[in-house]
Structure 1
Amino acid sequence: MTEFTNRGVQTSEAVVLEAFPPPNAVRRPSRAMHPWLSFAIRRGASLIVTFLALVVVSFLIVQLIPGDPAFAIAGANADLADVERVRQELGLDLPLGQQFMTYIGQVLSGDLGTSFIYRQPVSTVILSRLPFTATIAVAGIVTVLLIAVPLGMMVGLLTRSGKRSWLDTGFGVITGFLDSIPGYIVATFLVILFALGIGIFPMLPPAYSTRMVAESFVLPVAALVIGPICTVSRVVRRETAVVLENDYMRTARGWRLPASKQYVKWALPNLLTTTLTLSGLIFSGMIGGAIVIESVFALPGLGTGIIKAILDRDYPVIQGMVIVIGMIAAAINLLVDVVLGLIDSRNLGGSHANA
């Protein structure tokens, strides 16, 4: 009897797939370049253009910073001769065009320069601070996906076809309110409540050391993810409502197929396509959010590093951090596109999509 029932479910599923194939199940043969090869070429070219744009912007942006770093480095008691000597050592006395060509040559050769203040390679300064920012950003993105997607799907399922309108309204109001609060205000509130008030989490990490304690990152990650969780979960809820009304989902429910096949195998991949496309910008923005949040919590990451470099007019550090932060954001967008391509190869774009 069990075998007959299982065979009946498998037959029903086959009929549903044949009658109403889900969008992510459609695969068309490619008549031109392989989709992944075309994707790699296009995205590789895009990364090169992004990198070159960051190099140009990072050079020009330091020219807008008021003041002369030579005065800060020479010291308050230095005379004009000492300041001019420092300018010559740093190459700041050269024409702007010559400085730009020298900077381009250094960056393309993999040399981000030497810090004016620390007298160390910029790459060393960045690598010492990158783990803090990367920990917050990666933990934040993973947390957003693990919470926002199931939460949005659950609300979408419970409010399907106009059911439980109170839940739909309450969910929208609460998430909209939380999403409207700036991250630094959320961070300040969490510090007051959980660090200074209850005292269950430390306010500051170990004093500017590379030793990381997990408890020190709970509040920064929480402050970073609350807004994105609200945004992504609303997107998932909306996409879940749309996907559940498609013909193939209606037919699957009519055949009483298992919920795991309905929601995990068919609904989830199709709603993730739109969700991840819209969330890619959110994830990139979380890098900037991490920089702000770590400043609130005094984490010695890229955020506090670039602020200090601006105050010290440490041009090479500013330029190096701008390039690194920009490329991290570009890498996140690339990762999102790769995941979308794995879900459905038509998301790779190019001529193969219409083949």
Structure 2
Amino acid sequence: MTSTIADRAGAGGATTPPAPGTTPGGRPSDASRPARRGRSPWIDFAGRRALGLVGTFAALVVLSFLIVQLIPGDPAVALAGADASVDEIEALRVSLGLDQPIWTQFANYLLQLAQGDLGTSFQYRQPVSTIIANRLPFTATIALVGIAVVLIVAVPLGMWVGVQTRGGRKRWLDTAFGAVTGLLDSIPGYIMATILVVLFALGVGLLPLFPPAYNARAGAVAYVLPIAALVIGPICTISRVVRRETAVVLENDYVRTARGWRLTPVALHLKYVLPNLLTTTLTLSGLILSGMLGGALIIESVFALPGLGTGIIKAILDRDFPVIQGMVLVLGMIAALVNLLVDVVLGLIDSRTLGGRND
């Protein structure tokens, strides 16, 4: 989104940028006017997003149930062990409800979810909600902290490079930035994690590993390598987008006019450049940040972090269907909520994104 500059009568023909949501003449823009029905655009936005979340949850329920049906092998055989007899395996299948028709199993699954019950683990005989609650803090820590680090680093970095290379200046910086970020962005997360382990844990011994270094004494330091492996790629991707958007915004007339008022660079960039590049940046960032959840699951496996990623892998190997289904549901809804948060932030920055036509 780019703003426009309104002409203001005054000495010397000075101009000032219009207030957010106004036309060059100072009148409210069509996008900023209240809906014709007299309701706040946030009400319609909340209704659409609520329906979207319901649809997402329904799709995840069906997907999570069908996924476990495609996993080869019989959970009863895996649970009973190699020495179990046919009768013992069959009795175990009956106790687990695996002997019932697939539509009956699905109906029972829906009934459990309606009661707020994610089921009981085949392997551990514990509620799935308890298993997820024990593992979720590890995944949430590296994912949420990683998202915050990406936004805090990528946006200022991309803006700085965009400002420094404005109008073809410092081509060496533009070339070096593109080459370095392109190279780092092309490295898969698990390979980046391995490189960081070799350099900083096994090499110089600067940072600990998961495990055995993960304990009460390791504290937050033990999360540095997993988070670093997770954020390097997204930082490179988003900073390149921000650099491009910064270059576009800096060429607009209202920025040239604001520059003529002899504003400090900080005031100019924070007030007139940053708000106008965030819409495009956050739209793309929402997809990237949601994808970081999947990256977090892979990173967990590299560092043996006892989060949802390693939990899903173990559940697949054990054919522990309820655990797989519960973790897929939780991860899918977390990704949906991240996208919802991005949409809310976009709405606060630019109310035009709240309209159904601009979604």
The equivalent residue for 2:65 is 59
CA distance in 2: counterparts of 1:13 and 1:329, whole angstroms: 50
User: Quick one: structure 1 residues 14 and 147, their matched pair in 2 at CA, closer, same or farther if it must change by over 3 Å?
Assistant: farther
Question: 1:212/1:43 Cα in 2 relative to 1: closer, same or farther (>3 Å)?
Answer: farther
Residue in 2 that maps onto 1:15: 15
Matches within 5 A, 1:248-267: 248-267=254-273
Distance 1:12 1:63 in 2: 75
Residues 166-209 of structure 1 deviation map (CA, whole Å, 9 limit, x = unaligned) = 11111111100110001100000111111111101111245787
| Cross-structure match for 1:290 | 296
Residue 243 of structure 1: aligned partner:
249
Note if 1:94 corresponds to 2:100.
yes
Q: CA deviation at 1:266?
A: 1.7
Shift of 1:340: 0.7
Give the C-alpha shift of residue 108 in structure 1.
2.3
Which residue in the other structure is 1:3 paired with? Answer: none
1:29 aligns to what?
Answer: 33
In 1, the alpha carbon distance for the partners of 2:258 and 2:156 equals 21
Aligned AA (1:137): A
- Pair 319,256 (structure 1): closer, same or farther in 2 beyond 3 Å: same
Instruction: Report the more deviating stretch, 314-323 or 264-273.
Output: 264-273
Which residue does 1:5 correspond to in 2? none
1:109-135 Cα distance to aligned partner (Å, 9 max, x none):
211000000100000000100000000
CA distance in 2, matches of 1:303, 1:155: 36
- The number of residues matched between the two structures is 343
1:338 equivalenced with 2:344 (yes/no): yes
1:250-271: CA deviations, max 9, x gaps? 1101222233332111211110
**The one of 175, 183, 199 aligned to 1:169:** 175
Alignment CA distance shift 1:90-1:268 (3 Å): same
d(CA) in 1 for partners of 2:127 and 2:105? Answer: 18
User: How far apart, in 2, do the equivalents of 1:13 and 1:127 lie?
Assistant: 63
- Distance in 2 between the 1:263 and 1:332 partners? 27
Please give the alpha-carbon distance, in whole angstroms, between the structure 2 residues aligned to 1:221 and 1:13: 52
Counterpart amino acid of residue 218 in structure 1: V
Matched residue of 1:288: which SS?
Answer: helix
Cα offsets for 1:313-343 (capped at 9, x unmatched): 0000000000001111101000101111111
In the TM superposition, what is the alpha-carbon distance from 1:16 to its structure 2 partner? 1.5
CA shift for structure 1 position 15: 3.0
Partner of 2:134: 128
Query: What runs of 5+ residues in structure 2 fail to find an aligned partner?
Result: 1-9
Q: 1:35 to 1:341 in 2, by over 3 A?
A: same
Note if contact 2:200-2:206 (Cα within 8 Å) is conserved in structure 1: yes
Find 2:219's aligned residue among 209, 213, 221. 213
Give the 5 Å matches for 1:317-332. Answer: 317-332=323-338
Report the TM-score, using the length of structure 1 for normalisation. Answer: 0.91
Q: Select the residue among 26, 32, 56 that pairs with 1:50.
A: 56
CA 1:19 to 1:131, structure 2 compared with 1: closer, same or farther past 3 Å? closer
Mapped contact 1:22–1:248 kept (Cα < 8 A): no
Q: RMSD across aligned C-alpha pairs, in angstroms?
A: 2.4
2:294 is the alignment partner of 1:276:
no
Contact 2:208–2:218, Cα closer than 8 Å, also in 1:
no
Q: Which residue of 1 aligns with 2:46?
A: 40
In 2, Cα distance between equivalents of 1:120 and 1:207: 28
Distance 1:335 1:295 in 2: 27
- Cα distance in structure 2, aligned partners of 1:259 and 1:192: 41
- Percent of residue pairs identical: 66
What are the superposed Cα offsets for residues 122-161 of structure 1, whole Å, 9 maximum, x if unpaired? 0000010000000000111111111110000000000001
Identify if the C-alpha distance between structure 1 residues 35 and 199 changes in structure 2 by more than 3 Å, giving closer, same or farther: same
Map residues 47-196 of structure 1 onto 2, 5 A cutoff. 47-196=53-202
SS state of the match for residue 118, structure 1? coil
